[in-house]
Structure 1
Amino acid sequence: MKALITGARGTVGRALTRQLEAGGHEVVVWDRARVPIDDYHVMEAFVRQVAPDVVYHLAIASQPSGREGESWLVNYEWASELAWITRVLAVPLVFTSTAMVFSNHAQGPFTRDSVPDAQEGYGYEKRRAEERVRHQNPDARIVRLGWQIGDAPGSNNMIDYFDRQVREHGVVRASTRWYPATSFLADTADALAGLTVRPPGLYMLDSNRAWTFYDIACALSRKHQNAWRVEPSQDFVYDQRMRDDQVVMPSLAERLPGLAPG
């Protein structure tokens, strides 16, 4: 299998690339420096040239260049164009979205029937992109992801957040009333790699069955030899968990033995 990946240098993109290459698959990276994302004809010609068996659209506007409207261009318009290109060329599309399509005013656990309501920022752009991708390519697979947990610092994941909090504040304050949507990167990559054989539609990947952010932070600290001092708080009250029986993700307790069974 040949996979074309946008956002291959990002947190999930690097993990997915490793997963696919370990399985003997070929990965082609979409380099925005060589292939612009605002010229439809150039984009279509590139996809035709690569002739992938699947396109994974993971890219987000994580490294802004200062271009006006760049976030909307990357998060919405690029997704729209890719959805149409893959429809025309009959190439399976896997488009990653986010649990943040639900605002902090909505309360989970969310299901595939829950209606996204984000009205601003990244969550709003992804919500609108989901709608557009579904319109442009009804055969696309739209995948909502939660906060990713890596094995070490160095990418945009929960471990980096803990390191940053300790550097800046000396402690990680973690809410006992927040249930985040979250998964380990390796599990997310494994699930994404397997979605090409599943039917088109909406999928939600979340490994959090029953644990608060404080539970998870304490278990992660123990796993990493008590690397961070964690204090409980009630600063954020929110249930962000997602439920989807189409893809059974490994429970966090399987990766973090310190968690009580959920």
Structure 2
Amino acid sequence: MKVMITGLNGTVAPEVAKYFYSKGAEIIQYKREEVTVENEMAIHSFLVKHKPDYFLHFAMGTPEWAGLLAKLTKELNIPFVYISTGSVYSGKQTAPITIDHQLDAEDEYGLYKIASEKAVIKQHSNAYILRIGWQIGNRPGSNNMIDFLYKQMEAHQVIKASTKWYPSCSFMEDTAAAIFDTIQNLKPDTYLMNSNDLYSFYDIAKYLATKHENLKVEKTNDFAQDTRMIDHRVNIKKMKEYIEK
């Protein structure tokens, strides 16, 4: 299996590539400095040259670029996988969030992801749209929950974590496994990927503090929001398997 991936200099894509590689996949990196995002002929030639079995689009970029990639992969009969986000939901709707909930993001990032999803679907009706939650890595230094916790410690010497905040989140390796399983076993569609069925941000932060001894967590109830996504079609390891282990 050959898999072409954008965003390999980012946070999640390298973990996904690592997992796919462990399953025998050949990873082909899409480098924007070599294949410009607006040059349709260059992108087409790159796809024809490598003939990937799947195209996974993680990278930040314009909705127009996402749409162009979707268009060209559709023409070449290549399954297209767009990595979206739970941020397409504002957090104002009643949770758990299902695939039937309205996309109602109000912030710039969420609106950008909605626009990108629409651009993809317009060009590739059989694309996979995978909405992932807040990712949990193993160390600070990248855009994930662990990095956020360490930055809170640096700024405030404590992490104030609300018992009334229920985020969608997953460990990156579990997201990688879920992406692999989904595109191998489920038909193209929109899917929600979240490991957290039960726990507040406080619960999760307390658990992570047992693995990162420099973290100090203080319980609060000053922020109330529930953005937990649920999709029973998706096979993803649950947070319960860590916290109640």
Q: TM-score over 0.5 for the alignment?
A: yes
Alignment partners' CA distance in 1, 2:149 and 2:86: 20
Offset at 1:119?
Answer: 3.3
Alignment pair present for 1:37 and 2:37: yes
Q: Which residue of the partner structure matches residue 58 of structure 1?
A: 58
Alignment partners' CA distance in 2, 1:230 and 1:75: 38
Alignment partners' CA distance in 2, 1:219 and 1:126: 30
Q: Which residue of the partner structure matches residue 217 of structure 1?
A: 205
Q: Which residue of the partner structure matches residue 149 of structure 1?
A: 136
AA paired with 1:28? I
Alignment pair present for 1:205 and 2:193: yes
Tell me if the contact between 1:59 and 1:75 (Cα under 8 Å) persists in the aligned partners.
no
AA paired with 1:141? Y
Q: Aligned to 1:161, what secondary structure does the other structure show? A: helix
For structure 2, list consecutive stretches of 5 or more residues without a partner in the other structure: none
Offset at 1:38?
Answer: 1.7
Tell me if the contact between 1:79 and 1:129 (Cα under 8 Å) persists in the aligned partners.
yes
Alignment partners' CA distance in 1, 2:196 and 2:38: 37
Q: Aligned to 1:11, what secondary structure does the other structure show? A: coil
Q: Which residue of the partner structure matches residue 121 of structure 1?
A: 108
CA RMSD of aligned residues (A): 1.3
Identity among equivalent positions (%) equals 39
Deviations 1:68-98 (A, max 9, x none): xxxxxx1411111111111101000111100
Give me the TM-score of the superposition, normalised by structure 2: 0.95
Alignment partners' CA distance in 1, 2:200 and 2:107: 25
Offset at 1:206?
Answer: 0.3
Alignment partners' CA distance in 1, 2:197 and 2:140: 25
Tell me if the contact between 1:139 and 1:200 (Cα under 8 Å) persists in the aligned partners.
yes
Q: Which residue of the partner structure matches residue 84 of structure 2?
A: 97
Q: Which residue of the partner structure matches residue 161 of structure 2?
A: 174
AA paired with 1:163? Y
AA paired with 2:47? V
AA paired with 2:194? D
Offset at 1:47?
Answer: 1.3
AA paired with 1:36? T
**Count of aligned pairs:** 244
Tell me if the contact between 1:75 and 1:126 (Cα under 8 Å) persists in the aligned partners.
no
Q: Which residue of the partner structure matches residue 244 of structure 1?
A: 231
